[in-house]
């Protein structure tokens, strides 16, 4: 009986990968610059802007404090305006991106804080501009931590994408709820769980491998 659902499981896996990949990529494009701004504008950093830092930090903290399932429902009008629908894979990407971007921002900020301040001071003493300090010192030194943070963020997205299935978001979560739970097919439910576990383990192993290579450099 389970073999009848294998094509559906394959399609759902592809939908999940698309949701996580797109939202993770867009979230990183927004979150990494936000994390850099949070770090460099801190009052103890080299480009202090307290008002901007506090305002941006407050907005990011507010977004992070909203549970994903509530965010998913609360921004349905915005999601519908952006993609033209409130259900499906494309619709799930919007709340997924909004949920992961502030998380990545804080991860990046934390990684940058771990960079030896002596390296920053040495670069400044040699006449490096603020942009050069960020691109030539901060980001290369913090890259292992940033990659580790991105790995955690992507794995969190997998869980969020499964949660999005509760409101018709598509992917493995949607399949598990509709065919596993609502139609009383525990084989489908446990297969979905197993696929999610394998996916998470694979991503974590890949992230750890990249971090080790970057650390050796």
Q: What is the pLDDT of residues 187-214, one digit of tens each?
A: 888 888 899 999 999 999 999 999 999 8
**Within 10 A of 52 (CB to CB), how many other CB atoms are there?**
13
Looking from the CA of 61 toward its CB, the CA atoms found within 13 Å total 7
Nearest to 113 by CA among 146, 84, 87: 146
* Cα–Cα distance, 94 to 76 (Å, whole number): 9
84: tokens are: 């033209």
205: tokens are: 């192993």
27: tokens are: 């979230």
Nearest to 158 by CA among 92, 102, 77: 92
* Cα–Cα distance, 192 to 173 (Å, whole number): 8
Q: What is the DSSP string of 17-50?
A: HHHHHHHHHHHHHHHHHHHHHHHHTSTTSSS--H
pLDDT at residue 216, rounded to an integer: 64
**Within 10 A of 181 (CB to CB), how many other CB atoms are there?**
15
102: tokens are: 């502030």
Residues of the chain short of pLDDT 70, as ranges, are 1-5, 166-168, 181-182, 216-217
Query: Is 23:97 a contact under the CB 8 Å cutoff?
Result: yes
Domain boundaries, the chain: 2-216
Q: What is the pLDDT of residues 35-70, one digit of tens each?
A: 999 999 998 888 899 999 999 999 999 999 988 888
Polymer length in residues for the chain: 217
Radius of gyration of the chain (CA): 20
Nearest to 20 by CA among 97, 109, 111: 97
Entry pTM: 0.89
At the top level of CATH, the class of 2-216 is mainly alpha
Distances in Å between the Cα of 23 and the Cα atoms of 66, 104, 157, 180, 217 are 18, 12, 8, 26, 29
pLDDT at residue 2, rounded to an integer: 59
């Amino acid at each position: 009986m389970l073999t009848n659902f294998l094509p559906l499981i394959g399609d759902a896996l592809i939908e999940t990968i698309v949701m996580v990949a797109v939202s993770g990529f867009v979230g990183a494009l927004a979150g990494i610059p936000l994390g850099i701004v949070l770090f460099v504008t801190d009052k103890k950093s080299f480009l202090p802007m307290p008002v901007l830092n506090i305002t941006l930090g407050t907005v990011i903290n507010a977004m992070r404090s909203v549970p994903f399932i509530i965010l998913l429902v609360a921004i349905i009008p915005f999601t519908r305006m952006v993609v033209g629908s409130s259900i499906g894979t494309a619709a799930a990407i919007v709340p997924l991106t909004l949920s992961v971007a502030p998380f990545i921002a804080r991860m990046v900020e934390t990684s940058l804080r771990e960079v030896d301040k002596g390296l920053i001071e040495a670069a400044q003493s040699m006449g490096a501009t603020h942009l050069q300090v960020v691109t030539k010192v901060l980001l290369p030194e913090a890259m292992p931590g940033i990659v580790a943070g991105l790995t955690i963020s992507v794995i969190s997205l997998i869980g969020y994408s499964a949660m999005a299935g509760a409101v018709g978001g598509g992917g493995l979560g949607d399949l598990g709820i509709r065919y596993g739970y609502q139609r009383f097919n525990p084989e489908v439910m446990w297969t979905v769980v197993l696929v999610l576990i394998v996916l998470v383990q694979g991503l974590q192993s890949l992230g750890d491998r990249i971090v080790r290579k970057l650390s050796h450099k």
